[in-house]
């Protein structure tokens, strides 16, 4: 069974992530390309450093070549944004990368990209699911990898330099060069090191790297940058007196930042800082796009600059589609992904980190100082996030209460409106909000709440948790 979630298809290795499913999905894509008459330019495949990712990339290439579609495989493990960049640059109709992003090590998966290098939108993923259902395993035709390489049906490519050059061209390298920053990178055993180290060292930063060896178990932690998983980076920043710590998730499309004091900077703050920086310091104008579980501080900044902030469901495919529609200058999510107009149409931790370093260099100020300037102007927002594991029965129970019967607890704040666009989101009249939604990437119910004070956010989050009789925060 192949079902796409918030960010691609993800499955437990050996359970659903199997050779036959990888080749089934690839065959489905190939059939769709053939039906659309879009096979000529071919297809690109990338892979990250997870267990089986490189092997699965070969399986996919064999199945794509077996359908007579020219197939390029990036010659070594790559950041997801590099694969998206390649789809965009080469004008390809589709591409894929083998990754399960930030999921636990037992998972692997496939992210599919469409023209322009965007994440496959809902229309495409539902069509692909339909194609998969209508594809029989006997339709999988393969060309052995080595044979494909020898006869040119499969080609190994190395687009890394163009990608790095395009980032170098779009950030103020001169300013970074003058700032003489000491930066420590934490790729979380994933794939960002080559690109990020190259960009920052070209800008003459003093760069240290931790957690860079290949470890398909990600050091026993989740390859998702947050305050709990980045304790090693936090200690390193403090001990070695670094100006900044930068982490990326397993496939490098998300970013996590540690400031010079060793504090974890929530992705909400990174998005807010960069939007503010682009408008206030770089003189850009334009809308912002955020998902509905991301800070509304972005809206306050947009309003102040007479711009609009658009809200979309969780999933970067929605963010990039809205950015394209509105020509927004930035789009991001509280889970740590963002992109900026002019760069690729998907989230990119490497690019976002480079822009953040530029911001520190250009302003000559600490991240905490710039953020204080923002809260002095727009007030404070505090967000709490809790994830709850559930079984099938639990899922049905919560779905009934919240999404079918649309019941809500009594809150100590006046409600402005309730939305069921993605889970259930309650907007309060004081600007705060709380959302409960099922993750599309993991078996979790996510409860996020943002209020002017942390105390209120915790209180509202607890009211919803108790009302839904949720267990321990996982
Ligand atoms: O909350 P979830 O549905 O698990 O999604 C969390 C994140 O997962 C992936 O990384 C998607 O690419 C993101 O767009 C999404 O924000």
Q: If you average pLDDT over every residue of the chain, what do you get?
A: 96
Residue 4 lies in a domain: no
In this prediction, residue 207 carries a pLDDT of: 98
Range of the domain at 88: 9-158
| 474 pLDDT higher than 80 | no
Cβ-contact 323, 345 below 8 angstroms: yes
Residue 154 maps to a domain: yes
What integer pLDDT is reported at residue 393 of this predicted model?
87
The finding on whether 334 has its CB within 6 A of some atom of ligand 1 is no
Tokens of 151: 């006869």
Asked if residue 29 and residue 167 are part of one domain, the reply reads no
Residues 173 and 220 occupy one common structural domain:
yes
pLDDT higher than threshold 80 for residue 254? yes
- Give, using CA atoms, the residue closest to atom 12 of ligand 1: 7
To test ligand 1's pocket by mutation, which of 333, 347, 447 has the most ligand atoms within 8 angstroms of CB? 333
Look at residue 19 and tell me whether its pLDDT is greater than 90: yes
Question: How remote is the CA of residue 257 from the centroid of ligand 1, in Å?
Answer: 18
Cβ of 335 below 6 Å from ligand 1: yes
Are 44 and 145 in the same domain?
yes
For residue 153, what pLDDT is reported?
97
Residue that finishes a domain, picked among 345, 378, 411? 378
pLDDT digits 0-9 by tens, 416-458? 999 999 999 999 999 999 999 999 888 899 999 999 999 999 9
DSSP result, 50-94: STTHHHHHHHHHHHHHHTT--EEEESS---HHHHHHHHHHTT-SE
Q: What is the arithmetic mean of pLDDT over 24-34?
A: 98
What is the secondary structure of 245-307 as a DSSP string? EEEE-TTSSSEEEE-TTS-EE-HHHHHHHHHHIIIIIT-----EEEETTS-THHHHHHHHTT-
User: 109 C-alpha to center of ligand 1: Å?
Assistant: 14
Q: What atom of ligand 1 comes closest to residue 317's alpha carbon? A: 14
Which of 158, 184, 213 lies at the terminal end of a domain, its last residue? 158
Q: In this predicted structure, what is the pLDDT of residue 471?
A: 77
Written as six digits, the tokens of 440 are: 């599309």
Q: What is the mean pLDDT of residues 137-144?
A: 97
What percent of the chain clears pLDDT 70, i.e. is strictly above it? 100
Predicted pLDDT of residue 442: 84
ipTM here? 0.98
CATH number at residue 215: 3.40.120.10
Does ligand 1 have an atom closer than 6 angstroms to the CB of 442? yes
Mean pLDDT of the region 256-276: 96
- Under DSSP, the state recorded for 115 is G
Cβ of residue 101 lying under 6 Å from some atom of ligand 1: yes
Q: Does any domain span residue 472?
A: no
Query: CA distances (Å), 91 to each of 62, 115, 117, 240, 370, in order?
Result: 22, 7, 8, 44, 39
Domain match, 370 and 417 both: no
Kindly tell me the burial class for residue 114, based on how many C-beta atoms sit within 10 Å of its own C-beta (0-12, 13-18, 19 or more). buried
Q: Is the full-model pTM beyond 0.80?
A: yes
The answer to whether residue 2 is domain-embedded is: no
Is residue 353 pLDDT above 80, yes or no? yes
Cβ neighbours, 10 Å, residue 408: 16
Domain contains 1:
no
Tell me what the mean pLDDT of segment 33-39 comes to.
Answer: 98
Within this chain, do residues 252 and 294 fall inside the same structural domain, yes or no?
A: yes
How many angstroms separate the CA atoms of 342 and 356, rounded? 16
Q: For residue 182, is it within any domain?
A: yes
* pLDDT exceeds 90 at position 1: no
What are the angstrom distances between the C-alpha of 297 and each of 15, 249, 283, 309, 323?
42, 24, 19, 10, 18
Is residue 473 over pLDDT 80? Answer: no
Round to whole Å and give the CA distance between 237 and 243: 7
Say yes or no: CB of residue 81 within 6 Å of ligand 1.
Answer: no
Whether 319 and 185 share a structural domain:
yes
438 Cβ closer than 6 Å to some ligand 1 atom: no
Asked whether residue 121 falls in the same domain as residue 15, the answer is yes
Of 337, 357, 378, the position where a domain reaches its end is 378
Write down the pLDDT at residue 6. Answer: 84
Cα three-residue angle 52-22-193, rounded to 5 degrees: 40
- What pLDDT is stored for residue 140 in this prediction? 98
Any idea of the CA torsion for 368, 374, 377, 378, to the nearest 10 degrees?
-120
Count how many domains the chain has. 3
Q: Which of 453, 452, 473 shows the shortest CA–CA distance to 462?
A: 473
Q: Within 10 A of 364 (CB to CB), how many other CB atoms are there?
A: 10
Domain assignment of residue 417, yes or no: yes
Cα 441 to ligand 1 centroid, rounded to whole Å: 6
User: Do 167 and 274 reside in the same domain of the chain?
Assistant: yes
Residue 67 confidence (pLDDT) above 80:
yes
Domain shared by 244 and 346, yes or no? yes
**Same domain as 180, residue 113:** no
What pLDDT is stored for residue 298 in this prediction?
Answer: 98
368 plus 386 within the same structural domain: no
Both 44 and 61 in one domain: the answer is yes
In a domain, 259, yes or no: yes
Cα 8 to ligand 1 centroid, rounded to whole Å = 9
Per-residue model confidence (pLDDT) at position 7: 84
């Amino acid at each position: 069974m192949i079902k796409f979630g918030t960010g691609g298809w993800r499955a437990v290795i050996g359970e659903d992530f199997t050779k036959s499913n990888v080749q089934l999905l690839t065959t489905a894509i190939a059939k769709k390309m053939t039906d659309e008459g879009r096979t000529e330019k071919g297809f690109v495949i990338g892979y990250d450093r997870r267990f089986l990712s490189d092997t699965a990339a070969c399986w996919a290439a064999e199945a794509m070549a077996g359908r007579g579609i020219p197939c390029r495989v990036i010659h070594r493990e790559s950041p997801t944004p590099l694969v998206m960049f390649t789809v965009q640059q080469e004008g390809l109709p589709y591409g894929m990368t083998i990754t399960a992003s930030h999921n636990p090590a037992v998972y692997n998966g496939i992210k599919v990209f469409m023209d322009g290098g965007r994440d496959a939108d809902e229309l495409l993923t539902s069509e692909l699911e339909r194609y998969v259902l209508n594809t029989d395993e006997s339709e999988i035709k393969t060309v052995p990898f080595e044979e494909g390489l020898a006869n040119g049906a499969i080609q190994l490519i190395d687009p890394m330099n163009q990608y790095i050059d395009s980032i170098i061209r779009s950030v103020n390298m001169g300013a970074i060069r003058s700032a003489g920053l000491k930066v420590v990178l934490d790729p979380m055993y994933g794939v960002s090191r080559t690109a990020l180290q190259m960009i920052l060292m070209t800008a003459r930063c003093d760069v240290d790297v931790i957690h860079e060896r290949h470890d398909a178990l990600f050091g026993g932690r989740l390859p998702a940058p947050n305050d709990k998983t980045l304790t090693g980076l936090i200690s390193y920043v403090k001990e070695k007196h670094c100006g900044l710590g930068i982490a990326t998730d397993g496939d490098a499309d998300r970013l996590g930042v540690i400031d010079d004091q060793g504090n974890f900077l929530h992705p909400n703050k990174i998005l807010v800082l960069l939007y503010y920086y682009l408008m206030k310091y770089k003189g850009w104008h334009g809308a912002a796009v955020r998902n509905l579980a991301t800070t509304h501080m972005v809206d306050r900044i947009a309003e102040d600059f007479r711009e609009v902030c658009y809200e979309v469901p969780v999933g970067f495919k929605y963010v990039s589609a809205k950015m394209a529609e509105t020509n927004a200058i930035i789009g991001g999510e509280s889970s740590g992904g963002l992109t900026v107009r002019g760069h690729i149409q998907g989230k990119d931790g490497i690019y976002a980190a480079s822009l953040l370093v530029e911001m520190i260099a250009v302003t000559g100020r600490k991240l905490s100082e710039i953020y204080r300037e923002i809260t002095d102007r727009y007030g404070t927002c505090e967000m709490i996030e809790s994830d709850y594991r559930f079984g099938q029965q639990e899922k049905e129970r919560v779905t009934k209460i919240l999404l079918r019967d649309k019941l809500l607890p009594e809150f100590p704040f006046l409600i402005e409106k309730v939305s069921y666009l993605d889970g259930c989101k309650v907007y309060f009249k004081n600007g705060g909000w709380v959302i409960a939604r099922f993750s599309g990437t993991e078996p979790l119910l996510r409860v996020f709440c943002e209020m002017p004070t942390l105390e209120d956010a915790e209180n509202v989050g607890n009211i919803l948790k108790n009302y839904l009789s949720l267990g321990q925060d996982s």
